[in-house]
Every structure is written in structure tokens, then in C-alpha cells.
Structure 1
Amino acid sequence: MKLSLSVRIAEAACKTRLNIPFAELAQMAADLGYAALCMRASVVGVQSSDAELQQVKSIVDAAGLGISMITADMNIPQNNDQSPQALQEFEPTLHVAEMLGSPLVRVCLKQESDIPHAQRACDLAAERGVQLVHQFHPACLFEELERSIEVLKQIDRPNFGVIYEAASLLMCGQPYGESAIRQIRPWLKNVYVQNLVITEDGPDHLETWCLGDRPFQLLPYWDESGRGINFREVLAGLNAVDYDGCFTIHQAEGIVTADDARNYAARCKEWVESLNS
């Protein structure tokens, strides 16, 4: 697996901008030995000019990094009612993917009527060698494991798949271990990792369709209390199905200084390496 770092670690709470310059984040990731960056519209997206896209691509190239995936529309991380609209006019998103050289584009589906738009977007993307991916996530068509597989079969496109994310499955009361990974293997395109515990006095909340409001607390990846995600089980499951794509550090941290970003990303890389020891 290739280790990828999401720019989300340094996003502001609004999810529309970074707290530190992108060039510093990219060089830091390269210095630490990450293989790729997971890009979001907080850096560049459908709102960006070609000059801005070219500048970001030149920074990534100069650092010797790849781009594991793009989220080109700011609505998608917000998971709001507008998030599926990018599928209806998909050319701007494809343009961003082509300019940045990204093989994967994250999308969002929230209702059955979004499925035909996803199929058409896949057909457009296939002409350019681009794949669409959907994260397991609360309050969308990819909340529950079995329903997600049904939707994947309905879309029925070889260039549409899923981003496995154990914390979202846990949030929605779903299994996330080897059995779940085996079920989604035909569509598995990317892996996100976050760590959290569902707790009644959690400081944060997410609304799910299947279980209602879910209070939770984010945990460090390296938390050893046993309360959060069993990442050794996750890694064993990924290895069992010979997954060789990206493993992306995706947890929101609200980091505001370059030094903090470097220290956090270094600790995350050490943690990943410890899972393989």
C-alpha cells in the first residue's frame, strides 16, 4: 500500500481553505516519505482557474509526490443537499482531475435519482481513464454496507468504486473488518483512515439516516485504550484481499502551523509503520 496524506489535516473548520500554505504542506509530506497527497477543493477545485491548477500541480511535481484522489467540489465534504449536483455537470470536475493528473475523483450520491447521473459521469470519465469513488459516509446512499453494495451493482460501471472508511461504518453501526472488506473488494479503490469512539458524552455529533444522531469523540490513531477502530484488524483485512492502493491519513485536525503539521504527519507515518511491525 502507498501512504497518502489528505490536505484535510490542515483545513480550517469551514473546509474551504487551508490554515497553512499548500506548498509547505506538500514539501513536508515529501520530506517525511509520503507517496501522495489527497487533494480537496480547499486547495483547488472546480472554482479554480487553469493557472491556479497548474501552480498546484507544479508544486506537487516539484515535491516528487503523486495525487491519490481529488475532491473537486466544496459541497462534497460538506455532504449537503448540493453535493450530488457535481455529477449532473461533470466536465468541470473532470477538467480538474486531468489538470492535476488524478486517477480518482470523489463524488456523492444522496438519493436514487442520483444514480443515472453517476452512470453518465462514469461514461464521460472512462473516456479519460478516470475513476469515480464514493466514501462510506453517514447521510448518503453509502451509509450501510449491504445497501452500498446494492447501489454499486445498480451503477454497474467498472470505473465506479468505494473508499473504504472504517470509522464511518462504525458510526452507522456497520461491520468494518475482514468480512466487510471481502464483500466490497470488487469495488475497493481507496482507503481513508480516521479514529473515533461512539460515546454518549461525545463533544461532536453526526446525523445518520440509519441510527439518528451519533455523538462521538475523535481519537489519535495511536490510541491504545481499545475504544476506537481496531486498525490491526483493518490492516489484516486489507492484506487478506491483496489491496495495494492508497492508505490515506484523513482525520480532521484543524492544524494551524507548519510545525504542528509536520509533527502530526510524522507521528502518523510512525504509527502506520508500527502496524506493519
Structure 2
Amino acid sequence: MKLSLSVRIAEAACKTRLNIPFAELAQMAADLGYAALCMRASVVGVQSSDAELQQVKSIVDAAGLGISMITADMNIPQNNDQSPQALQDFEPTLHVAEMLGSPLVRVCLKQESDIPHAQRACDLAAERGVQLVHQFHPACLFEELERSIEVLKQIDRPNFGVIYEPASLLMCGQPYGESVMRQILPWLKNVYVQNLVITEDGPDHLETWCLGDRPFQLLPYWDESGRGINFREVLAGLNAVDYDGCFTIHQAEGIVTADDARNYAARCKEWVESLNS
């Protein structure tokens, strides 16, 4: 597996900008030994000029990094009602993917009528060697495992897959161990990881379609209390199915200084390495 760092760790709460300069974040990831960055529209996206896209690509290239995936539309991380609209006019998203050299593009589907748009977007993307991926996530068609697999079969495109994300599965009361990975293996394209615990007095809340409001608390990845995600089980499952894609540190941290970003990303890398020891 290749270790990827999401720019989300340093995003502002609005999810539309970073708290630290992108060039510093990219160089820091390279210095620490990350293989790739997971890019979001808070850096560049469909709203960006070609000059801005070229500048970001040059920063990534100079750092010797790859790009594991892009989320090119700001609506998609917001998971709002506008998030599926990017599928209806997919050329701008594909342009961002081509300019940045990303093999994967994250998309969002929220209702049955989004499926034909996803199929057409896949057909456009296939001409350029780009794959579409959808994260397991509350309040969308990829909330519950069984329904997600049904949608994957309905879309029926070789370049449409899923982002395995155990915390979202946990949020929606779904299993997330090796048996799940085996069920989604034909479509498994990427891995995001976050850590959280569902708790009645959680400071944060997320609305799900299947279980209603879910109060939760984010935990450090390296939390050993046993309350959150069992990451040793996650890694064992990924190894058991011979997953060789990216493993992306994707937890929102609201980091505001480059030093804090470096310290956090370094500890995350040490934690991943400890899981494989």
C-alpha cells in the first residue's frame, strides 16, 4: 500500500480553503516519506484557472509526490443537494483530473436519478483513463453496504469503484472488517481512514438516512482505548485481500500552522508503520 495524505488535515472548517500554504503542506508530506497527496477543491478544482492548476501540479511534481485522488467540486465534501450535479456536466472535473494527473475522481450520488449521469460520466472518463470513485458516506446512496453494492452493480462500469472508509460504515451501523472488503473487492479503488466513537454526549453530530442523527467524537488514530476503529483489523483485512492502492490519512484536524501539520503527519506515518510491525 502507498501512504497518502489528504489536504483535509489542514482545511478550514468551511472546507473551501487551507489554513496553511499548499506548497508547505506538499513539501512536508514529501519530507516525511508520504507517496501521494489526496487533493480537494479547497486547493484547486473546477473553479480554478489553468494557471492555478499548473502551479499546483508543478508544486506536487517538484516535491516528488503523486496525486492519489481529486475531489474537484466543493459541493462534494459538503455532501449537499448540489453535490451530484458535477456528474451532469463532467468535462470540467475531467479537465482538473487531466491537468493534475489524477487517476481517481471522487463523486457523489444521492438518488436513483443520479445513476444514469454516473454512467455517462464513466464513459467520458474511460476515454481518458480516469476512474470515478464514491466514498462510503452517510446520507447518500453509499451509506449502507448492501445498497452500495446494488448501486455499483447498477452502474456497471469497470471504471467506477468505491472508497473503503471504515468510520463512515461504523457511523451507519455497518460492519467494516475483512468480510466487507471481500464483498467490495471488485470495486475497491481507494482507502480513507478516520477514527471516531459513537457516543451520546459526542460534541459532533452527523445525520444519516438509516439511523438518524449520530453524535460522535473524533479520536486520534493511535487511540488505544478500544472505543474507535480497530485499525489492526482493518490492516489485516486489507493485507488479506492483497489491496495495493493508497491508504489515505483523511481526518479533519483544522491544523493552522505548518509545524502542527508536520508533527501531526509525522505521528500518523509512525502510527501506520506500527500497525505493520
* TM-score, length-scaled by structure 2: 1.00
How many Å separate the matches in 1 of 2:151 and 2:237? Answer: 23
> Aligned-pair distance for 1:51?
0.1
1:121 is displaced (CA, Å) by 0.0
Unaligned stretches of 5+ residues in structure 2: none
Residue 105 of structure 1 pairs with residue 105 of structure 2 = yes
Distance in structure 2 (CA, Å) of the matches to 1:178 and 1:164 = 11
Deviations for 1:178-214, whole angstroms, at most 9, x for unmatched residues? Answer: 0001000000000000000000000000000000000
Residue identity over aligned pairs, in percent, reads 98
Q: What is the CA deviation profile of residues 50-86 of structure 1, one whole-angstrom value per residue up to 9, with x for unaligned ones? A: 0000000000000000000000000000000000000
How far apart are 1:2 and its partner, in Å?
0.0
1:163-188 Cα offsets, whole Å, 9 max, x none, are 00000000000000000010000000
Look up the SS of the partner of 1:182 in the other structure. helix
Q: C-alpha deviations, 1:126-146, integer Å up to 9, x for none? A: 000000000000000000000
Which 4+ stretches in 1 moved above 3 angstroms?
none
Partner Cα distance (1:215, 1:223) in 2: 19
- Using the alignment, how far apart are the partners of 2:165 and 2:21 within structure 1? 27
Partner residue, 1:172 = 172
Question: In the aligned structure 2, how far is the partner of 1:35 from the partner of 1:178?
Answer: 25
Hey, what's the Cα distance between the residues in 2 that align with 1:241 and 1:267? 26
Residue aligned with 1:138, SS: coil
Looking at structure 2, the residues matched to 51 and 13 of structure 1 have their Cα atoms a distance apart, in angstroms, of 26
- What corresponds to 1:148 in structure 2? 148
Alignment partner of 1:183: what SS?
Answer: helix
In the TM superposition, what is the alpha-carbon distance from 1:20 to its structure 2 partner?
0.1
Following superposition, the deviation at residue 238 of structure 1 comes to 0.4
Distance 2:144 2:236 in 1: 22
Q: Deviations over 1:70-127 (max 9, x none)?
A: 0000000000000000000000000000000000000000000000000000000000
Compute the RMSD of aligned alpha carbons. Answer: 0.2
- d(CA) in 2 for partners of 1:214 and 1:187? 27
The CA deviation at 1:216 is 0.1
Residue 243 of structure 1 corresponds to: 243
CA distance in 2, matches of 1:241, 1:257: 38
**Number of residue pairs matched by the alignment:** 277
Q: Which runs of 5+ in 1 are unaligned?
A: none
CA distance in 1, matches of 2:98, 2:224: 41
How far apart are residue 147 of structure 1 and its match? 0.2
Cα deviation, residue 272, structure 1: 0.1
| Number of the residue aligned with 1:208 | 208
Report the CA distance between 1:231 and its aligned residue. 0.3
Q: Following TM superposition, by how much is the alpha carbon of 1:244 offset from its aligned partner in structure 2, in angstroms?
A: 0.0
* CA deviation vs aligned residue, 1:151-172 (integer Å, no higher than 9, x gap): 0000000000000000000000
CA distance in 1, matches of 2:172, 2:69: 24
**What is aligned with 1:231?**
231
User: How far does residue 16 in structure 1 lie from its aligned partner after superposition?
Assistant: 0.0
TM-score (norm 1): 1.00
